């Protein structure tokens, strides 16, 4: 009986070790993703350093599913720059080009008017009611770089949540079942 008991104990201990190991691996993956994201926020100065283009308003420059890299620096906004802004009462930020800039001499506060390259009219209609200009606090960043197509992954995952769950499930299964 002693022999069997020993074996059972050893199996049990192996399982616990393995389980702990897997938990740590999983934790490492999650935390390193978080570290990378937060580091990007620090380096770029933008709360959302990477955004996916969802609309056709900036075609042909940016198409649906493209990824944009944003930066937010102290440098003043100038006409022609592609800025990302959010409007009070609107959840999804908009990526459009600044076409008019008026910068105050004393306070350096700016009035910016934007327009999507693919739109016929400027964005006043998109702004909050009675709002004629964007100010500094509306602007979350400016686009500095660009990667095509990669954003489709997130678009598909948000539009077809089932695919997201399948993917997460499969990845989780892989992590749990893999033995180095």
Partner 1 sequence: MHTFGYRANALLTFAITALAFICAIASFSDKFSNQNPSAEIQILNINRFKKQSHGNDEVSLTLDISADLQSLFTWNTKQLFVFVAAEYETPKNSLNQVSLWDAIIPDKELAKFRIQVSNKYRFIDQGQNLRGKEFNLTLHWHVMPKTGKMFADKIVMPGYSLPDAYR
Residue placing its CB nearer to partner 1 in the complex, 115 or 138: 115
Binding partner 1 (rule: CB under 8 A), the pick from 15, 38, 90, 100 is: 100
Is residue 66 flagged as an active site residue? no
Q: How many Å apart are CA 47 and CA 157, to the nearest integer?
A: 22
Q: Is 79 in the site for partner 1 (CB under 8 A)?
A: yes
Is residue 96 flagged as an active site residue? yes
Q: Is 130 in the site for partner 1 (CB under 8 A)?
A: no
Is residue 57 flagged as an active site residue? yes
CA distances to 5, 49, 54, 111, 176 from 134, in Å? 74, 20, 21, 6, 50
Looking at the DSSP assignment, which residues form a beta bridge with residue 50? 69
Binding partner 1 (rule: CB under 8 A), the pick from 105, 125, 130, 161 is: 105
Binding partner 1 (rule: CB under 8 A), the pick from 81, 87, 131, 154 is: 81
Nearest to 93 by CA among 44, 46, 160: 46
Instruction: In angstroms, give the least distance from the CB of 123 to partner 1.
Output: 12
End-to-end CA, the chain: 33
Instruction: Please give the DSSP secondary-structure letter assigned to residue 134.
Output: B
DSSP, collapsed to helix, strand or coil, labels residue 178 as: coil
* CA angle centred on 41, ends 98 and 30, rounded to 5°: 135
Q: Is 43 in the site for partner 1 (CB under 8 A)?
A: no
Contact 48, 68 (CB under 8 A): no
Instruction: In angstroms, give the least distance from the CB of 2 to partner 1.
Output: 36
Q: Is 146 in the site for partner 1 (CB under 8 A)?
A: yes
- Element containing residue 6 per DSSP (H, E): helix 2-44
Residue placing its CB nearer to partner 1 in the complex, 88 or 103: 103
Binding partner 1 (rule: CB under 8 A), the pick from 26, 55, 71, 122 is: 122
- Give the footprint of partner 1 on this chain (CB under 8 A): 60-61, 76, 78-82, 97, 99-105, 108, 111, 117, 122, 143-148, 174
């Amino acid at each position: 009986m002693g022999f069997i008991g020993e074996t059972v104990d050893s199996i049990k201990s192996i399982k616990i070790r393995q389980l702990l190991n897997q938990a740590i691996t999983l934790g490492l993956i999650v935390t390193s993703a978080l570290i990378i994201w937060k580091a990007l926020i620090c380096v770029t100065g933008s709360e959302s350093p990477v955004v996916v283009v969802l609309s056709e308003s900036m075609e042909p420059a940016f198409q649906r599913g493209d990824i944009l890299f944003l930066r937010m620096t102290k440098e003043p906004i100038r006409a022609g720059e592609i800025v990302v802004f959010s409007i009070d009462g609107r959840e999804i930020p908009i990526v459009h080009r600044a076409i008019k800039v008026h910068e105050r001499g004393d306070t350096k506060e700016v009035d910016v008017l934007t327009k999507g390259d693919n739109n016929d009219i400027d964005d006043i209609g998109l702004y909050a009611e009675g709002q004629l200009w964007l100010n500094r606090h509306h602007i979350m960043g400016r686009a500095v770089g660009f990667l095509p197509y990669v954003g489709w992954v997130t678009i598909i995952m948000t539009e077809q949540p089932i695919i997201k769950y399948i993917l997460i499930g499969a990845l989780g299964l892989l992590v749990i079942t893999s033995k180095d």
